[in-house]
Amino acid sequence: MAKIRTFICFELPDAVRQSLAQLQDNLKRHGKGVRWVRPAGIHLTLKFLGDVDEKQLPDIVSVVRKASEPYAPIKIHLYGTGAFPNLHQPKVYWIGVEEAADLIKIQSDLENELAPLGFPKEKRQFSPHLTLGRVKSSDGLKAITAALEKEALPRMSFTANEIIVMQSQLAPGGAVYSALANIALKKN
């Protein structure tokens, strides 16, 4: 049985991706210690499922569809930058996402609905963010972190109109994503 690396997310509009690409370009000048996420691959992950048996996909899509029924499109506001676990020891650089009530609730509903299918609930609290890059070496990290702290990120918002069940195929140049299902948010 084939396994498919799968996650559930919101995609970003092109204008947001372009702004994030500009930010990445500005940061790249400060060092080579970060593997930057290709702008086309930046998304807002709601739930990472891991390697899923392809026979489970119809059930997953059905559960995501059910969990999303009560929701209209969700306004997503981006703000600020940071790093996990922190800016002094960065492993991942990110853009913050304002914790809107519907965003937190839909993610919680997905966790609850997917648990009976064998996808355990996250132990950590949901921390919505967009990953810009992952640290691979210490080359220029202090300069990158300093630049990130000074970078004036314009306030950006977008409307998430659909949840996507996404396939992730690991490749030498970074993960390649393809939508397995697009589920519209349209509050019944």
Q: What is the full DSSP assignment across 59-115?
A: HHHHHHHHHHTT---EEEEEEEEEEES-TTS-SEEEEEE---HHHHHHHHHHHHHHG
- Whole-model pTM: value is 0.93
Please, which pLDDT band fits residue 188 given cuts at 50, 70 and 90? low
Please, which pLDDT band fits residue 23 given cuts at 50, 70 and 90? very high
Is the separation of the CB atoms in 153 and 78 below 8 Å? yes
Calculate the average pLDDT of the chain.
Answer: 93
In whole angstroms, give the CA distance from residue 172 to residue 7. 20
The one-letter amino acid at 86: N
**In the chain, how many domains are there?**
1
DSSP string across 23-53: HHHHHHTT-S-EEEPPGGG--EEEEEEEEEE
Is the separation of the CB atoms in 129 and 96 below 8 Å? yes
What pLDDT does residue 93 have?
A: 95
Please, which pLDDT band fits residue 151 given cuts at 50, 70 and 90? confident
Please, which pLDDT band fits residue 18 given cuts at 50, 70 and 90? very high
Q: What is the CATH number of the domain that holds 159?
A: 3.90.1140.10
Interhelix angle 14-28/141-150, rounded to 10 degrees, is 130
Digit-coded pLDDT (tens) for 63-100: 999 999 999 999 999 988 999 999 999 999 999 998 78
pLDDT, average across residues 114-134:
95
Is the separation of the CB atoms in 50 and 152 below 8 Å? no
What pLDDT does residue 1 have?
A: 72
Which residues lie across from 32 on neighbouring strands? none
Taking 70 as the threshold, does the pLDDT of residue 61 lie above it? yes
pLDDT, average across residues 45-72:
97
Q: Domain span at residue 99?
A: 3-184
What pLDDT does residue 78 have?
A: 95
